[in-house]
Each structure stands twice: as structure tokens, then as C-alpha cells.
Chain A
């Protein structure tokens, strides 16, 4: 390397370097902590950060697991909106989420408020509603597939027959299949929602209710002005996570309907799975995955804004 001349301005440049030196020293200190973060960050990069970027790249490619992929540009993003199956999957997923999230929210809030009032049997109820949470969707779906048997003799049909409703083809009719999945998923998950609400109710100081009673507030008024506002973080959590989870509906579709009858219960994740692992359309599947990510981000942002403003 050629040595340069001693520059007279160099001394003054040295001063300019000072803050930079401090940055380096700060970094040197930080490096120590980065070392401790390394085990987790390694997994984070390999199995979360890299896959997201890889999916983004894949979404501009076509091809599959066996043939390999080639670059096609933004074609996937143009095609996907004309794909009737994708639109069906999108509509089903939205319909399903709109049915599940609000009803699970109201039902479990109502139940949590009642359980909160109980002085006895509280534990019994908690244990009962917790039971479905112990198991993966697969064995539970096997049970419900038996309960959903469409013949007059099916257990659920027998049950609704007691109140005079004719036997239904629960999983076999395009009209009823999504509501049937909703019933299964609410049964499977409302216990969690209720327990979260109970946890939220437990964080509200008892003193507030006593003060409200002294001031002559009715129970309804204290519910409206104490319980509901203080439960806002719980609502926000359940609304946001409820949408994130339910937009990823897969297990129930795989086990109960396999997308059928026809395409009546296709969900987005189900269609992604089919494209990636059955149809040899890896790039196309990645495109829909990326779209799903954006939809979830937008919905989460909207919910945050909506609940925080109110």
C-alpha cells in the first residue's frame, strides 16, 4: 500500500473522528450482549427471518418441490386475483373469522362474568372448559366427525331432533359446512378466551366497585363504566390474536372436510398447503402466503386503531 503524505488538515480531521470512535466503543460493548443473544437469533434467522425473505423471492417464481423454481416476475400476483379457488378460500376464511371472533368474544365474556360471581364450583367449571385445550385438533375432530354424522341417527341430529329441527347434513352441505366448522372451533377454543377474560377481570381492583356502589351506581353502570373500559387490553389482545389465529384455519379443514364438499370449505392456509405440497406450485403458494401476511398486518393495524380510539 502506498503511504500518503502527512496532511496538515489531518489533525483537525482527528477531532471529527471522535464521535465515531465513541460509536465503535459502544459497538464493542454491545458485541458482548450480541454473543448472548446468538443462540436465539440463530434460530430466529434460519427459521423465521430467512423464510420470510425466501417466501417473498419464491412469490416471483414458478415451479415446485420436484422440478425446482424459475423466475417469472410479478405474474403470480396478477394471476391470483383471477383464481376462483383463491377467491373462494379468501371468502371462506373471512366468513369463518367474522363468525368465530365476535361470537367467541361475547360468549366467553358473558361466561367469565358469571364464573367470576360463583363462590363454589368455580374450579369445576374451569376444569371442564379447559379440557378441549389439552388436545390437538386432530383427535377432537375425529370425535366431532362422529357427532356430525348426517343420517337421522347421528348424535347431533338426534340432539337437534329433540327440539324439532330436521336432520342436517352438517359437513356435507355447502351452506352448513363453514358454520359447522365454526361450532367445532368455538367449542375447542372458547375455554381459552374465557380464561383470558377471567384473568383480565382479576386485575380490576375491587376498590373501584366498592367506590362505585357508595356513589350509588347500579351493577349495570359499574359494568359499563368500570369493567368494560378496564378490560380494553384484554379485548385488544383477543381481537388481534383471534383474527391472526383464525385467519390461519387449517387443522379443522384437513380433518373434517378436506376442503369439501366441492371447494366449499377451502381456507387460505389449506389452499397454500395444497399448492405447495400436492399441486407442485411452490411459487404460487408462497405468493398467497405473502398476501396472507399483508392481510393480517392490515387487519391488526386497523383493530389497534379502532380499539384504542374508542
Chain B
């Protein structure tokens, strides 16, 4: 299949080859444009107050473009606070996961001890457990610890998700054991080996895990929805979920809010595209 355009080129006429090329390029580009169509729509609509939304794309082009819609959101809601909360939670979870999960992954990859396989299997089985099962008791635990409406309440439960342990084990399994042994002979402590040898060697995997975790947290909705009721403690998705009913009449403001919520991560993405694509599909490729 990879070579099919060369193969076809040999067998068919020039016109056939041309048609093939048009299909190969035309279909994916058409799909790509269709995919970003809602983004173009939201950008255009966000640039003016829109009380009546027309279906005709020509009417979306703002006659008197304004960024008043954006200022309106920042003035009338806790939008900036929600963004800050989302950043704090996603960053904290990411840092903790990168350290705690890679330590566990390292032990599972390089150390032999009783009960290792059993424990690792139990941890892996956690991937299949739906959120609906854990969310009710997790809520009760967080409530009894008096951590509702707090950063620890948002940050601690996601640390249990096992995907990071799995990813890091897979990666560190492939690291040469000789390096670890050599460092130990040179008098490095176990934690020293992990900190000075294993972690630096795992930088690519850590980047992937970091981006994956950050994105998962940035996009998470159900847990923050359950654990936070105070407006100033809401994360961006939870804040936006009520905000859009507040500004129901003005599509311009709604779309401005959506755009504003995507903009920061979009900037980061455009700079680090390759890492993002690797990071988000990492779980699949290692599995």
C-alpha cells in the first residue's frame, strides 16, 4: 500500500496517476478543513456581539469587528481565575505523576521481588475500571478529609490512575541494566541511581508522559464537576459549563469564551506539535 502510487504509475496511464494523486491529497485536506471548520466558525462569531445566529457562513464575517466580547467575559466572570486553577491543577498533577509514577515504573521494570507480577497486574487492571465506580467513594473520602473545594481535592485522586506506571515501566524496561549496576558499584544509593542515572536517561519518555498527563488533566470535566462547588475554585471546563448558560443570548460572548479557553494551549501546541502528537498517542504505541 505504501508503494501503491509508484505501482499504479507503472501500470496505468498518466491521467489515472494524476487522478490517484488528487484523491490522495484531496480527501485528507478536505477532511482536515472540515475538521477545523467549527474553529473558524467560532473565531468569526467571537469577533462581534451576535444575538441572532445565521447559518450562512458569509454572514459570520463581522462587519464591525470588536474584541469587546473577550473583555466582557473577563469582566463579568471568574474566567481568569478558572484558567489559573486549571493551570495549577494540571501542572501539579503532571509534576507529581512524572516523579511518583516513574519511580514505581522503575521498580517494576528493573527490580525483582516477591509479588511483583501480581501487584503490577492489579495496577494494570485499574485501567479498565470506569470512573463511575470510583467517583462516588472518592468523593466521600475527599469530603471526609474536608478537601472539597480545594486544590488537594482536585489534585490527589488523579494520581491513582495507573497509565503512567505502565508507560514508564515499558520504557525503563528497555534501558540497559549495566548502567544501573555500574552506578551501584561506584557507591550510588538506590535513590541516587534513580535520580542521577535513570531519570536523565528517561527524558523522552518523561516528556511524553508529562504532556499526556497535562492534557488529560486540562480536559478533565467529571471529577472537578463533582468535587468543586465554589465558583472561585472551578477549573476552566467546569466554569465554562455554567458560563455558557449565563450568556445564552449572545453567541459572540459564548464563542469568545471558548476561543479564550483554547488559545493558551493552542500556542503551546503550535510550538511543540511533535511532542504533543507523540504524547497523546503514547499509551497506544507502547501497548
Report how far A35 CA is from B167 CA in the complex, Å: 21
Task: Report whether over half of chain A's contact residues are helix, strand or loop; otherwise say mixed.
Answer: helix
Give, as a whole number of angstroms, the nearest-CB distance from B160 to chain A.
4
Is there contact, CB below 8 Å, between B28 and A118?
Answer: yes
Contact assessment for B140 and A54 in the assembled complex, using a CB-CB cutoff below 8 Å = yes
**What chain B residues lie within 8 Å of A209 (beta carbons)?**
1-3
In this assembly, does A98 line the interface, its C-beta being within 8 Å of a C-beta of chain B? no
A182–B31 CA distance with the chains assembled, in angstroms: 17
> Is A135 touching B141 in the complex (CB atoms < 8 A)?
no
The stretch of B69-77, B112-120, B175-183 in contact with A is B112-120
Are A111 and B28 in contact, with the CB atoms below 8 A? yes
B4 x A219 contact (CB < 8 A): yes
Q: Mark B38-55, 1 if CB is under 8 A from A, else 0.
A: 110110010000001111
Closest to B42 in A: A143
Q: Of the candidates B53, B241, B266, which one forms a contact with A134 in the assembled complex, judged by CB atoms under 8 Å apart?
A: B266
Assuming A47-B156, A248-B131, is B276 touching A33 (CB within 8 A)? no
Instruction: Contact check, A39 vs B244: say whether CB atoms are below 8 A apart.
Output: no
Cβ-based interface call for B249 (8 A): no
> In the complex the two chains form, what is the Cα distance from A147 to B53 in whole Å?
9
Name which of A10-18, A72-80, A173-181, A269-277 contacts chain B.
A269-277
Binary interface profile of A, 129-156, with partner B (CB < 8 Å = 1, else 0)?
Answer: 1111111111110111111010011111
- A286:B3 contact, CB within 8 angstroms: no
Question: In the complex, how many angstroms separate the beta carbon of B136 from the nearest chain A beta carbon?
Answer: 5
Query: Does any Cβ of B come within 8 Å of A125's Cβ?
Result: yes
**Binary contact readout A34-62 vs B (1 if CB under 8 angstroms, 0 otherwise):** 10110111011011111110110010000
A190-231 CB contacts (< 8 Å) to partner B: 191-192, 195-196, 199-200, 203, 206, 209-210, 213, 218-219, 222-223, 226-227
Tally of A interface residues using CB under 8 Å: 114
> What is the bound-complex CA distance between A288 and B119, given in angstroms?
27
Provide the B250-287 mask, 1 if CB < 8 A to any CB of A, else 0: 01001101100110011001100100110011001101
With A142-B244, A233-B287 already in contact, the answer to whether A285 and B136 are too (CB < 8 A) is yes
Given contacts A115-B28, A223-B1, A285-B136, contact A136 B236 (CB under 8 A): yes
Once the chains bind, are A237 and B284 in contact (CB under 8 Å)?
yes
B-contact bits for A109-124, CB 8 A (1 contact / 0 none): 0010111111011011
> Which residues of the other chain, A, contact B165 by a CB distance below 8 angstroms?
40
Least CB distance, B57 to chain A, in whole angstroms: 8
**Residue from B53, B123, B219 within 8 A of A44 (CB atoms):** B123
Question: Across the interface, do A244 and B103 meet the contact criterion of CB distance under 8 Å?
Answer: no
B62 nearest CB across to chain A (Å): 15
Is A94 among interface residues, defined by CB-CB distance under 8 A? no
CB distance from A154 to the nearest CB of B (A): 5
Chain A stretch 152-172: residues in CB contact (< 8 A) with chain B: 152-159, 161
Interchain nearest-CB distance for B167 vs A (Å): 13
Chain B hits for A237, CB < 8 A:
284, 287
C-alpha gap A44/B99 in the complex (Å): 15
Which residues of the other chain, A, contact B236 by a CB distance below 8 angstroms?
Answer: 136, 138
B101: nearest residue on chain A (CB-CB)? A40
* Nearest CB of A to B204, in Å: 15
Categorize the interface residue count of chain B.
Answer: 35 or more
CB distance from A114 to the nearest CB of B (A): 5
**Which residues of chain A are near B285, meaning CB under 8 Å?**
196, 199-200, 203
Give the docked Cα–Cα distance between A167 and B262 (Å). 30
Q: Mark B154-185, 1 if CB is under 8 A from A, else 0.
A: 00110111100100000000000000000000
The minimal Cβ–Cβ distance linking B250 to chain A, given in whole angstroms, is 11
Q: Cβ of B160 and Cβ of A46 under 8 Å apart?
A: yes
Q: Flag whether A268 is at the interface (Cβ < 8 A).
A: yes
List the B side residues contacting A161 at CB < 8 Å.
Answer: 55
> Any chain B CB within 8 A of the CB of A300?
yes
Q: Tell me if A293 counts as interface (CB < 8 A to partner B).
A: yes
Alpha-carbon distance A26/B115, docked complex (angstroms): 11
Contact B24 A114, beta carbon cutoff 8 Å: yes
Task: Say if the beta carbon of B8 comes within 8 Å of chain A.
Answer: yes
- Rounded to whole Å, the gap between the CB of A28 and the closest CB of chain B is 10
CB <8 Å contact, A251 and B222: yes
A96 within 8 A of B: no
With an 8 A cutoff between CB atoms, is B200 at the interface?
Answer: no
Pairwise interchain contact A58-B137, C-beta atoms closer than 8 A = yes
Residue of B nearest to A290 (CB): B133
Interface status of A309 (Cβ within 8 A of chain B)? no
Question: CB-CB < 8 A to B103: which residues of A?
Answer: 36-37, 39-40
Q: Which 4 pairs show the lowest CB-CB distances between chains A and B? A: A158-B55, A219-B4, A128-B32, A51-B137
> 15 new A-B pairs (CB below 8 Å) besides A125-B32, A135-B262?
A30-B115, A33-B111, A47-B160, A48-B162, A51-B135, A125-B29, A131-B35, A146-B41, A154-B55, A196-B285, A200-B284, A213-B7, A237-B287, A276-B135, A276-B139
CB-defined A-B contacts under 8 Å, sample of 6: A135-B265, A136-B218, A139-B257, A154-B53, A282-B136, A292-B130
